[in-house]
Chain A
Amino acid sequence: MQELSVRHLLGIKDITKQDIQLIFETADNFKDVLNRPIKKVPSLRDITIANVFFENSTRTRLSFELAEKRLSADVINFSSSGSSVKKGETLLDTVNNILAMKVDMIVMRHSSPGAPHFLSRHIKANIVNAGDGTHEHPTQALLDSFSIREKYGEVAGKKIVIVGDILHSRVALSNIFALQKQGAEVMVCGPSTLLPKYIKELGVKVELDINKALAWCDVANVLRIQLERQQMKYFPSLREYTLYYGINKKMLDKLDKQITIMHPGPINRGVELSSDAADSHHSIILNQVENGVAIRMAVLYLLASKNKI
């Protein structure tokens, strides 16, 4: 068996197509483990993992924690709210203090792009980026691609449109890198105010009309409209966004083809995705959540295997 080419999973940009393939093949086996009566293997019983979250998270943290526990790792959780970070402790000091407790791996979410990259230059532990600001969210992109592969057999040659707030989305950027490495065609669709100015330089198609984008694609990965950023006024109102970019079942039924709807969660029901679309047979949103645990188990397992005893 080959090994990952990296010691840390900082972003999809840093890994190869072979790495992605290896993660998927390993995740296939872990998905099988998750469907057994006893959903636990002892692989990481001698590993301690710290989940260090400097930003809010529900599903990513739960998914990582479950993946770690399914692998029998010892897990400690840290969140910056109510911690010494509020007293002025630096990121490096915080992490070094955690590492002094003999932690082997760090799963980190931070609001600053590049924070895990900075840490990787200063500490020996393996680092998994669980989202760094508007930069990357590699495990989300991997589970998205894995879900497409599960649905269609392969990712290569598939047409995927990423819809919504591309400007602020780490999921979008990681997905673009992951899908392109696997030979998929990628389009982004959203209001021009939410599309980065130089997005075309990443080799993606740009479409402003949601109906044209849906007619073109096999898969629509719909991003959350980040309500917390709406004081910036990227569009006049949520109602207007829904009118122009919201996806509902009527739109999907009008298409004379099978289309798959994905969403990284949490969904703003009735904004970017109507309930009847989110809960329709087109949706594989809950499969994504299930696959998230298997993918994260695979990533942790493969990174841990790089550390020989």
Chain B
Amino acid sequence: MQKRLIVNHQLLDIMVLRLCHQLIENHGNFSDSVILGLQPRGRQVAQRIQAKLTSILGTSVPTGYLDTTFHRDDFRRRETPLAANATRIDFLIEGKKVILVDDVLYTGRSVRAALDAMIAYGRPANVELLVLIDRLYSRHLPIEPTYVGKSVNSLQSQRVLVEWQGQEVEEDNIWLITKNED
């Protein structure tokens, strides 16, 4: 297995700050907007975005976490079933502008499941997608992000790993991992 660093912690910090300013440009003071982090890995990104927005705006942006496990289209197609995570949405999304947040956009199937899962909580005014990493040329569905941290051209045999400080690692980093092919 080979690991190649594609975003270090300083760059990741700058990237999150840039994404926050892009969000402020479109959502102002977030009076009609909410953030939904897609469980499990989008949750961390959403928390980072929320913390940075709070420090810039001085007010807390409504942020929730959405689990898509039961809405996925690969049930009974995976070797091991996915464990569901908690959904926590303490606000109404009816008529709100929703920003879905995830760490990596790959095939688009998770986002499709998220759109499906989200509808159970109401009809948003519109939905945007924010991702830290967009893996180019790998989409299975016509889904594209509104806000992108970094676009990466990767092979199907590779995967992107986003590490956050405190989760058994010392600093935030994003890696491109290549499995050794025997």
Per-residue 0/1 for B71-110: is the Cβ within 8 Å of any A Cβ (1 yes, 0 no)? 1000111011111111100000000000000000000000
Contact residues of B: prevailing secondary structure: loop
CB-CB under 8 A from A301, the residues of chain B are: 70
Known: A1-B83, A32-B87. 11 other contacts (CB 8 A): A1-B80, A1-B81, A25-B84, A28-B86, A29-B70, A29-B85, A41-B70, A42-B116, A301-B70, A304-B76, A305-B75
Specify which of B75, B77, B87, B119 is in contact with A43 (CB 8 Å cutoff): B75
In the complex, residue of chain B having the shortest beta-carbon distance to the beta carbon of A2: B80
- Kindly state whether residue B67 has any CB partner on chain A within 8 Å: yes
Q: Given A29-B86, A43-B70, A302–B81 Cβ distance below 8 Å?
A: yes
- CB of A41 within 8 A of CB of B71, answer yes
- Assuming the A-B contacts A37-B121, A305-B81, are A32 and B86 also in contact, with contact meaning beta carbons closer than 8 angstroms in the complex? yes
Minimum CB–CB distance for A303 against chain B, Å: 11
Q: How many A-B residue pairs have CB under 8 A?
A: 55
Q: Is B50 an interface residue (CB 8 A)?
A: no
9 residue pairs of the A-B complex, CB under 8 angstroms, read A29-B84, A29-B86, A41-B70, A41-B117, A42-B71, A43-B75, A46-B76, A305-B81, A309-B76
Taking a contact as CB atoms closer than 8 A, the residue among B77, B84, B86 that contacts A309 in the complex is: B77
CA–CA, A299 and B71, complex, Å: 17
Contact in complex: A307, B76 (CB < 8 Å):
yes
> Is A180's CB within 8 Å of the partner chain B?
no
Within 8 A of B (CB), among A31-53: 32-33, 36-38, 40-43, 46
Residues of B within 8 A of A302 (CB): 81
A308 beta carbon closer than 8 Å to chain B: yes
Contacts of A29 in B (CB 8 A): 67, 69-70, 84-87
A37–B122 contact, CB under 8 A?
yes
Q: Which residues of B contact A (CB under 8 A)?
A: 67, 69-71, 75-77, 79-87, 116-117, 119-122
Chain B residues with CB under 8 Å of A40's CB are 120
Contacts of A1 in B (CB 8 A): 80-83
Q: Which residues of B contact A309 (CB under 8 A)?
A: 76-77
Whether A26 is near chain B, meaning CB under 8 Å from some CB there, is yes
Q: Does A3 contact B (CB under 8 A)?
A: yes
Identity of the chain B residue whose Cβ is nearest the Cβ of A297 in the assembled complex:
B70
Evaluate contact between A36 and B84: CB separation under 8 angstroms: no
CA distance A29 to B68 in the complex (A): 11
Please, how many angstroms separate the alpha-carbon atoms of A113 and B84 in the complex? 35
Output the nearest chain B residue to A71 by Cβ-Cβ distance. Answer: B70
* Chain B residue at minimum C-beta to C-beta distance from A308: B76
Q: How far is the CA of A229 from the CA of B70 in the complex (A)?
A: 43
The smallest C-beta distance from A68 to any residue of chain B, in angstroms, reads 14
